[in-house]
Amino acid sequence: MIVIGAGIIGVTAALRLLADGHSVTLLDRGDVAGETSGGNAGAFAFSDIEPLAAPGILRKAPGWLLDPLGPLSLRPAYAVRMMPWLLHFWRSSQPKRHLASIAAQARMMDLSRRATETLIDSVDGQALIRREGQLQVYEGAGEYRESLSAWDLRRQHGVAFRLLESAGDIAEIQPGLSPRFTHAGFTPDWMNVTDPKVWTEHLARCFVNAGGQIRQAEVREMVQGDAGVSLMTDGETLTAGQVVLAAGAWSHRLARTLGERIPLETERGYNTTFPVCDFDLRTHVTFPGHGFVVSRVGQGVRIGGAVELGGLNLAPNFDRSDVLVRKARAFLPGFDPQDGTRWMGFRPSMPDSLPAIGRSGRADRVIHAFGHGHLGLTQSAGTAEIVAAIAARRAPDIDISAFDPLRFSRR
């Protein structure tokens, strides 16, 4: 088998397929975790079950989209190209579809949580995991009340959490926050990796040590024939009995060579990583009203988030990174950012916030595994379990009909 893409989804799937007895080669044009998988916040966000496409989102979106430095922005140079995706996004926000997406996401999170614990043990990875929970903080009672419906959804799907309604309760979990944050929700089962790039590289080493191969090559085209799937690269043509397409934000381009048009877009995310941090950060802190998080990475801290809809080719707008750092300085009194490194990555996102996992409709030897948006690391082990089941032509442990890669064209 060949797995295209050495990000967290591809590496984890390759490792799981190898454990099932397949001969597996992992292909990528660059290094392991060389793109988005190396620069995310490092969170296993199993409690995040509500999609971005929610009822009422379009009432808020115009104000956000017009602010180039706001939590959700649309680059004007890309607006026309985004219209088909935005139409699917609007349809996905309708109440019936929204509830169906939440149910599918909850199933995926439950599978992924269990699969992740199994994976951590199998690769001797406990030293690379932080089990410090996550704190979502709110400015005032009004913002807190608006969040309660989302917390109720988590309760309905078995997510453990505790609501905090005083600054004192918040300080017991995370001291040093600005007093403007008066309410919060704490999810104790939330986990982080110590560093997402280090974690992915660790899995890749386990893959190679178990007999897998990693090669650098950029796949330009896929063609299925009688002998299998042929992959055209710059230097040669490779053939495999089955192929897993896990190339993140670039996956739809390769799917198009099979004749499939999949509405995959990029939520461009920005962050700044500081190698050392003198602020006593004890948990992963999320500022939902401002669209960013603060998390520990290595010995330092990473400040990042927000969503910029702008495709793969436009130049980064690092003012977005800088505004998040300025907010973090205001929200974390005493935090003194020094020697930060700015970064921008491409989150591969489907309009309903659900991944695309399943066999290609045009080439049944190709398995799609992409489109996880903000949740690639979170759902990587669960996706690997599903991919292994599909490759063996057995039923996955959960219903995956909601993840059909061609669900939007079928509608």
- 359-409 pLDDT per residue, tens: 999 999 999 999 999 999 999 999 999 999 999 999 999 999 999 999 998
Q: Residue 71 has what pLDDT?
A: 75
The answer to whether the CB of 24 falls within 8 A of the CB of 10 is no
- pLDDT tens digits, one per residue of 289-329: 999 999 999 999 999 998 888 899 999 999 999 999 999 99
Q: Quick check: helix, strand or coil at residue 20?
A: coil
What mean pLDDT do residues 63-76 have?
Answer: 73
Question: Angle formed by the axes of helices 79-92 and 95-122, to 10°?
Answer: 100
Report CA-CA distances (Å) from 341 to 304, 330, 337, 400: 11, 19, 11, 39
Q: Residue 275 has what pLDDT?
A: 93
State the DSSP string of 302-346: EEEEEEEE-TTTSPP-THHHHHHHHHHHHHSTT----S-EEEEEE
- pLDDT tens digits, one per residue of 163-207: 999 999 999 999 999 999 999 999 999 999 999 999 999 999 999
Indicate the residue type of 206. C
Q: What is the pLDDT confidence band of residue 60, given thresholds at 50, 70 and 90?
A: low
Nearest to 232, CA basis, from 210, 263, 258: 258
- pLDDT tens digits, one per residue of 44-58: 999 999 998 888 776
Other Cβ atoms within 10 Å of 236 Cβ, number: 8
The answer to whether the CB of 312 falls within 8 A of the CB of 345 is no
Beginning with the edge strand found earlier in the chain, give each strand of the sheet holding 219-225 in spatial order.
219-225, 228-233, 237-240
pTM, two decimal places? 0.96
What DSSP state is assigned to residue 192?
E
Nearest to 60, CA basis, from 166, 162, 143: 143
- pLDDT tens digits, one per residue of 92-131: 999 999 999 999 999 999 999 999 999 999 999 999 999 9
Model confidence at 411: pLDDT above 80: no
Q: Quick check: helix, strand or coil at residue 5?
A: coil
The answer to whether the CB of 385 falls within 8 A of the CB of 115 is yes
> What distance in Å separates the CA atoms of residue 310 and residue 226, rounded to the nearest whole number?
39
The answer to whether the CB of 356 falls within 8 A of the CB of 383 is no
Q: Residue 410 has what pLDDT?
A: 77
Q: Where are the alpha helices (DSSP H) in 176-215?
A: 196-209
The answer to whether the CB of 337 falls within 8 A of the CB of 328 is yes
Q: Residue 14 has what pLDDT?
A: 98
Tokens (6 digits) for 177:
């926050």
Q: Quick check: helix, strand or coil at residue 104?
A: helix
Q: Which letter, b or e, does each residue of 162-175 get, where b requires 16 or more Cβ atoms within 10 Å of its Cβ?
A: eebeeeeebeebbe
- pLDDT tens digits, one per residue of 11-46: 999 999 999 999 999 999 999 999 999 999 999 999
Burial class of residue 389 (count of CB atoms within 10 Å of its CB; 0-12, 13-18, 19+): middle
Q: Residue 64 has what pLDDT?
A: 61
Indicate the residue type of 37. S
Domains along the chain?
2-133+189-410 (3.50.50.60)
Tokens (6 digits) for 408:
């939007």
Beginning with the edge strand found earlier in the chain, give each strand of the sheet holding 2-4 in spatial order.
213-216, 25-28, 2-4, 243-245, 366-370, 356-359
The answer to whether the CB of 260 falls within 8 A of the CB of 361 is yes
Nearest to 314, CA basis, from 90, 42, 73: 73
> What distance in Å separates the CA atoms of residue 152 and residue 14, rounded to the nearest whole number?
37
- pLDDT tens digits, one per residue of 128-173: 999 999 999 999 999 999 999 999 999 999 999 999 999 999 999 9
Nearest to 3, CA basis, from 30, 20, 21, 28: 28
